[in-house]
Structure 1
Amino acid sequence: MDEDTRYEAVRSRDARFDGEFFFAVETTGIYCRPSCPAVPPKRRNVRFYPTAAAAQHAGFRACRRCRPDSVPGSAEWNVRADVVGRAMRLIKDGVVDREGVCGLARHLGYSARQVQRQLTAEVGAGPVALARAQRAHTARVLLQTTALPVTEIAFAAGFASVRQFNDTVRAVYAATPSELRAAAPRGGPAVRRPEAASAGIPLRLAHRGPYQSTAVFDLLAREAVAGVEEVDGPRGGRTYRRTLRLPYGTAVVAVEERRQGGRAPHRPKARQAAHPGGWLDARLHLTDPRDLTTAVQRLRRLFDLDADPYAVDERLGADARLAPLVAARPGLRSPGAADPEELAVRALVGRSRAERLVQRYGKALDLPYGTLTHVFPEPAALAGAASAGNAGTGTAAGPHGTLAALTSALADGTLRLDAGADRDDAHGALLALPGMDPSTAAVIRTRALGDPDVAPPGEDLPEAWRPWRSYAVQHLRTAVEPIQPDAQEDH
């Protein structure tokens, strides 16, 4: 997009581009999302930035009206397989906060200077500025939705000191932490009462455009592993719950099938066909608040919330075979994984055996949460058990079979499936495992690695479907099931 096209999106308050770019107004010192409901600024006063971090780095503060820090992430970083795309995914996962810039560079196989140079050139900010913007957003969420003391929030959000935390909040939001807490949306004070602390952290997981939640929840319900996951409630209004193993502790998360409340922003009549998007309501119960950012990003990958449904539907809808499927389910997503290593094991062994592994080798929660009792076992625990030939872990190939090889490779780092993994390298490592079926490797690449362009082995899918073949496969598979009345919600 050139700048004139971006300005037209701003002038018409086009929510399709929220998160794809940001604009700042020189006369006010504020940056916004494209759909900001404020009166559009004059063209000569507008500057454009590819990320919120770049706008903040240039000295602009976040708009209090449109809250640009809460928009969906750019779909570009999930599509791209180069070092910049991988770096952006790792930063979202909190690697810079946990391991610093040198840790990020180590994951990518580049020097810290190379990573800094490439990110600055392409997204307008280096890894420190990008992580700082993410920490500020985490701090705002914790300030406005929890009863945690300000000092605890500072370190939970990833700041090195309270002073750094205070300075960043003032720079990004033009308010002190106390003022930001007092400005919580209606209903926030009730959430922050100490006696409500056990209610967890309420969140809105934003997405752009239409979202076919019924298809996603149908898939999650079919795959749910007892003890780790559950889906309950009537179809069209279900709740998905699961446990998570995170860097600092564990979590129990709950995500609602339907968006609750909210109104679409006003847009001129000529743009009414462009759906404004919405959100999925979620709630997080964390044993350590420092895991908030990572937990949110893993949920976003599981539900494919940073996708660009307009780009996907435009490409696939132009094909005669897919056009009726896209028309029936606009915004159909290609779900990912909340835990890539867990997904790889489950793709290999199937649901029933995965449930046995959970009961025997999973880490039990301190307190059960309904039917949720365990966190899925770590690869190292399964590798040790499989190598020892323990019952329930081996495959048909015996103790030195595929499960032992997979979990050993994950445990020793030979195979990486994290947010910054090189997809081609990981796929090659998967196929090199003894007994690994190419179809299983394709599922792992699609789900665990979040690759939007995977064709199942043996299927000759048209080149015209690229780079969205994973979505095309999802349309073809979902079409096998009859469309239910609640499966065409467009929220």
Structure 2
Amino acid sequence: MDDEHCYRAMSSKDGRFDGWFYVAVTSTGIYCRPSCPAVTPKRENTRFFPTAAAAQSAGFRACKRCRPDATPGSPEWNVRADVVGRAMRMIADGAVDRDGVSGLAAALGYSERQLHRLLVAEVGAGPLALARARRAQTARVLLETTDLPVSEVAFGAGFASIRQFNDTVREVFAHSPTDLRRRAGRHRTAGPTGGITLRLPFRPPIDLDLMFGYLAARAVPGVEEYTDGRYRRVLALPHCTGVVELSGGSGAHVWCTLRLDDMRDLGAAVQRCRRLLDLDADPVAVDERLGGRPELAPLVAAGPGRRVPGAADPAELAVRAVLGQQISVAGARTVAGRLSARFGKPLTAPAGSLTHAFPTATELAAADPGDLPMPAARGSALLALAEALAIGAVDLGPGADRDESEARLRELPGIGPWTSGYIRMRALGDPDVFLPTDLGIRRGLERLGLDGAPAAATALAESWRPWRSYAMQHVWAVPRPDAPAAAARVPATRS
């Protein structure tokens, strides 16, 4: 979008563009989200930035009314597979805080100077500024939602010193840390109790019942559960193991309650929950494209805002994709539960039915093939995958090159086009995957009166680009003529 398009979107207060870009007002020194009701500047007094970090680097501070730092992330980074898109996903996951700019650049195969130049040209800020903006938002969440001492908030958010923390918070939010906490205390919104509770914003519409139903149908015993409208699971994070509870809110947000042993993992935990529920998607753009196709228009109209379930742990999702080969969803759940109980790390404090973390690739790679609760051939495929993930031969992290990762997966025994494509869609978050040999896709197309043969389906799906992953969610959910209405709500595919 050029500046004129941005100005028109801002003038219409169109909330769909929140997170796509930010509006800075030179006469006030404040930057806002496009839908902010308080911003009506003259054209000559406005500047537009692709990221909050770019606005902060230019000397603007966050609006106190619209809180632009709390918008959904830009869906552009889900779509883009180039180095900038990969870098943005890694920075959001905390790569700079953990490994520094040198580690980020090395993981992407670029020099620090090259990476900085690319990011400044594309998003208006370098990796340090982008990581700083992320730390500031994490600090604000901790200040407003917990009673942690300010010093613990500073280091938990990733700052290297109390001074750096204080200076950044004052510069970005025009308040001291204690002021932010005091103001939040006066305006705190009630939510689920216990742990760190925060709201994860999204762009409406969204069908959370369908999303939670999908996850519930595949919940691994001991690792996940869904009860009373709340989805809970164990998270394996860079510094610790945590537990998250997700539930629907009354507005355009999801309630998220996290219980973490190490506050440094807050930012990573939030990003992984967002990816799991596909909360940074732009459903209007997806629905406009798919709803324009006659074969999909009735499905899109009946299910607006349908998302693609992601993965809180990409390696776990890959393992579960192999476990689910040639067996039912219920059977895959049972096997995954046995695997977790046998090889997963027990929680120090079990939370209800949640007792174990899903086993890591390293733990599975060291397993005795005879201890795996599955046929020998599938066990061999599982061990080969686990070893490749453990030694880094296959990268499924947020900065992975999707084409390279899929190619590496296909080199492993027992992993064909369907499994690698499914992993690419859910673990790597690719919005444009199509699985032409999937039985659910074939049956769904045939129920629509279309040719479901792989060649014909592939040709038809070309018109669904770049949102074929979303189109598959609609086709999978096409009900059998004799299916109960409730059963038709959850896509019935494997894994």
TM-score, structure 1 as length reference: 0.90
SS of residue matched to 1:55:
helix
Tell me what 1:272 maps to: none
Matched, 1:390 2:389: no
Aligned runs of 1:65-464 on 2, under 5 Å?
A: 65-184=65-184, 186=186, 188=188, 199-233=194-228, 238-256=229-247, 258-260=248-250, 262=251, 278-349=252-323, 350-385=332-367, 388-392=368-372, 395-397=375-377, 401-458=380-437, 459=454, 460=458, 461-464=460-463
Cα distance between partner residues in 2 of 1:137 and 1:183: 16
Cα distance between partner residues in 2 of 1:365 and 1:115: 39
Tell me what 2:472 maps to: 473
Whether contact under 8 Å (1:442, 1:457) holds in the other structure is: no
The Cα shift of 1:4 comes to 1.7
Cα distance between partner residues in 1 of 2:31 and 2:489: 37
Whether contact under 8 Å (1:393, 1:403) holds in the other structure is: no
Whether contact under 8 Å (2:339, 2:359) holds in the other structure is: yes
The Cα shift of 1:442 comes to 1.3
Cα distance between partner residues in 1 of 2:436 and 2:489: 29
The Cα shift of 1:282 comes to 1.1
Whether contact under 8 Å (1:212, 1:487) holds in the other structure is: no
Tell me, which stretches of 5 or more residues in structure 1 are unaligned?
263-277
Tell me what 2:28 maps to: 28
Tell me what 2:328 maps to: none
CA 1:398 to 1:468, structure 2 compared with 1: closer, same or farther past 3 Å?
closer
CA-based RMSD: 1.9
Cα distance between partner residues in 2 of 1:187 and 1:63: 16
The Cα shift of 1:41 comes to 1.3
The Cα shift of 1:390 comes to 3.2
Whether contact under 8 Å (1:394, 1:403) holds in the other structure is: no
Describe the superposition over 1:377-403 as per-residue Cα deviations: whole angstroms up to 9, x where unpaired: 111110110xx323225643276x201
The Cα shift of 1:231 comes to 0.3
Q: State how many pairs are aligned.
A: 459
Q: Quick one: percent identity of the two aligned structures?
A: 59
Cα distance between partner residues in 2 of 1:189 and 1:225: 32
CA 1:448 to 1:416, structure 2 compared with 1: closer, same or farther past 3 Å?
same
Describe the superposition over 1:380-439 as per-residue Cα deviations: whole angstroms up to 9, x where unpaired: 110110xx323225643276x201100000000000100000100110111110121321
Letter in 2 for 1:213: L
Tell me, which stretches of 5 or more residues in structure 2 are unaligned?
324-331, 438-453, 491-495
Whether contact under 8 Å (2:477, 2:489) holds in the other structure is: no
Letter in 2 for 1:365: L
CA 1:486 to 1:152, structure 2 compared with 1: closer, same or farther past 3 Å?
farther
CA 1:470 to 1:190, structure 2 compared with 1: closer, same or farther past 3 Å?
closer
Whether contact under 8 Å (2:196, 2:257) holds in the other structure is: yes
The Cα shift of 1:20 comes to 0.2
Tell me what 1:60 maps to: 60
TM-score, structure 2 as length reference: 0.90
Whether contact under 8 Å (1:438, 1:457) holds in the other structure is: no
Cα distance between partner residues in 2 of 1:111 and 1:39: 40
Describe the superposition over 1:254-312 as per-residue Cα deviations: whole angstroms up to 9, x where unpaired: 000x223x5xxxxxxxxxxxxxxx11111011111110000000000000000011111
Higher RCO by CA contacts (8 Å cutoff, separation 6 or greater): 1
Cα distance between partner residues in 2 of 1:20 and 1:206: 14
CA 1:486 to 1:53, structure 2 compared with 1: closer, same or farther past 3 Å?
farther
Cα distance between partner residues in 1 of 2:67 and 2:178: 18
